[in-house]
Amino acid sequence: MTDQLLLLEPPTTQHPAAVDELRLLTMNVQHASVERGRRQAVWLAGQEVADVLVLTEVGYSASSQALMTSLTQLGYAHVIAIPSASGGPDYRTVLASRSAPLERMRFSVGLAHRAPAAKVRVGEHTIGVLGLYVPSRADLPKKRLFQNDVISALPDFLAAVDGPVVVAGDLNVLEPTHTPRYTTFRAWEYSFYSAFEKAGLVDAFRHLHAQSPEHSWYSHRGSGYRYDHAFVTASHASSIRACRYVHKPREQKLTDHSAMLLRLGLY
């Protein structure tokens, strides 16, 4: 199957990685099949802004390996994918970089495969990147435990990076002022979003788009949710050049989530 997928045409334009800004794209890949994962990799490689990737809800076994193999073949020379410690099936988060090596960092949480962390060198600057895929509301105890682990581990992670830090991924949580307001979410879920601000990070999208009602995922009933986020250290908020949602992957049925891109200037 993988050999057959290699017959698909790669992107016609090869995009060199930027050296004056971090260009990061995060996307929930919706546990893609081997074939859909290959198409996702082709789309990602074709995006000029996708120098560093944070991919969430990555499947396991053949589908996971096919996606990572495809990314490598399409120019992402550096990939971090942590296997589940239990050895059992669980979704994970994958980091990938076009040219800048990823130096794995310690981030002490119980479900480490959902929270890979790394330093990436862009030009003369070192940036910390943490990718997160928070468990869904289908398992609230698991979700709450993971959230608490992340909150506990965040200060040490931030202190270990002498430069900008980006936290991005599918947090499966909404901002407290989300429109519309969903009463199903509990106070401890909303407090997870607020914990990033308390730790010294800013919501990059909200920093640039204070009133935008955009959503990154829609239920079968058409209800919109802004689940996918990117946070940047508050001391580097003035360097955020762009942060927006890219809806084409969802509209083209590559996944059920919109992607999010972030451009962070480096001076």
Q: Domain 22-265: which topology?
A: Deoxyribonuclease I; Chain A (3.60.10)
pLDDT for residue 84: 86
Helix (H, G, I), strand (E, B) or coil at 54: strand
Q: How many other CB atoms are found less than 10 A from the CB of residue 65?
A: 15
Q: Is 208 helix (H, G, I), strand (E, B) or coil?
A: helix
| Sheet bearing 165-170, strands edge to edge | 102-105, 117-122, 125-133, 165-170, 228-233, 201-203
Express as a percent the part of the chain with pLDDT over 70. Answer: 95
Residue 48, amino acid: E
Cα 54 from Cα 97, distance rounded (Å): 9
C-alpha to C-alpha distances, 217 to 51, 57, 60, 68, nearest whole angstrom: 23, 13, 22, 24
* Residues β-bridged to residue 125: 122
Structure confidence at residue 10 (pLDDT): 63
pLDDT number for residue 1: 38
83: DSSP letter: P
Does residue 67 contact residue 37 with C-beta atoms inside 8 Å?
A: yes
Q: Which amino acid is at 54?
A: V
pLDDT digits (tens, 9 = 90+) for 135-150: 999 999 999 999 999 9
pLDDT at site 11: 65
* Domain residue spans of the chain: 22-265
Task: Provide the whole-model pTM.
Answer: 0.94
Q: For the chain, which ranges sit under pLDDT 50?
A: 1-7
Amino acid (1-letter code) at residue 258: S
CA distance 65 to 132: 19
